[in-house]
Structure 1
Amino acid sequence: MSLHTAKALLFLRISIGALMLVWGADKFANPEHGVRVAERFYFGLLASDQAMPVLGALQLLMGVLVVVGALRRFVYPALAVVTGITLLGVWRSIIDPWGWMLEGANALFFPSLIIFAAVLVLIAVRDTDRIALQPYSKGDRGP
């Protein structure tokens, strides 16, 4: 892998990890916001002030692990689940970003598709990522 590719992959990892850090911090700073989001987009699952700090802590941990490139074999699939659930939660905005046919759509949520795609890229190339806390060795390809 070229140094330019390695740096681009590092930037992708840092930006996706930073997103998890922002989402996690929001659950601590404004748990009511997290509850409203859960109620609106996730059928009210885990929509409680008590759940938000726990979810926030998990997202903060995930964000740090993604940024530093640690435990990628486990963290990246978990990250795909989190961003995939988010993608499903805003599906109207993916199909109809301007809300011409589907009520409740918002073009600002369209990048959820790009975020999910970026996570899939991280999974696909994780064995070539060399600027990380735990660079992969040839024998550690994992699922």
Structure 2
Amino acid sequence: MTRQENKLQMSLLLIRLTVFLVMFMWTLDKFINPEHAARVYEKFYFIADLDNPVMYVIGSVELVVLLLFVVGYMKKYSYGAVLFFHAISTLSSFKQYVNPFEGANLLFFAAWPMLAACLALFMLRHSDKKLSVR
């Protein structure tokens, strides 16, 4: 492996691990504080009346996808699902982008570089080999 390939693989690994960290925390929220997660779904996705068992099921599905993602398994599907999840999350926050200086809305802009990182990781998934299940 060339030095350039090693740098690329290390960069992709770091992207994978840090995207996992953020999304894992959002997934944990569904188990630790399902009422909060339900309010997020209602406010941003317009899905109301999600009770705790439903949040546990959503969290469980997300957790499986994230575990596949973090170990680099079934990349087309796991990386694609993570990209899809984060794209929906980013785009559903449109109101916060229109009013960036109200409340904590400015923080929502951090979603865009992460979305670009998810897209880059998906596009370069064949090069993401470090600590990856083959």
The one of 41, 56, 59 aligned to 1:56: 59
Match of 1:41 in 2: 44
Match of 1:138 in 2: none
Match of 2:83 in 1: 80
* Aligned-partner Cα distance in 2 for 1:45–1:58: 19
* Aligned-partner Cα distance in 2 for 1:61–1:46: 24
Decide which structure has greater helix share. 2
User: Measured at CA, do residues 114 and 95 of structure 1 come closer, stay the same or move farther in structure 2, by a change above 3 Å?
Assistant: farther
Q: How many residues align?
A: 131
- Of 48-57 and 126-135, deviating more is 126-135
Structure 1 length as normaliser, TM-score? 0.81
Match of 1:123 in 2: 122
Larger RCO (alpha carbons 8 Å, 6+ apart): 2
Q: CA RMSD in A?
A: 1.9
Unaligned runs of 5+ in 2: none
Contact 2:79 2:121 in 1 (8 A): yes
Stretches of 4+ aligned residues off by more than 4 angstroms? none
User: Measured at CA, do residues 67 and 115 of structure 1 come closer, stay the same or move farther in structure 2, by a change above 3 Å?
Assistant: same
SS in 2 for 1:75: helix
* Aligned-partner Cα distance in 1 for 2:71–2:15: 12
SS in 2 for 1:110: helix
- Name the % identity: 33
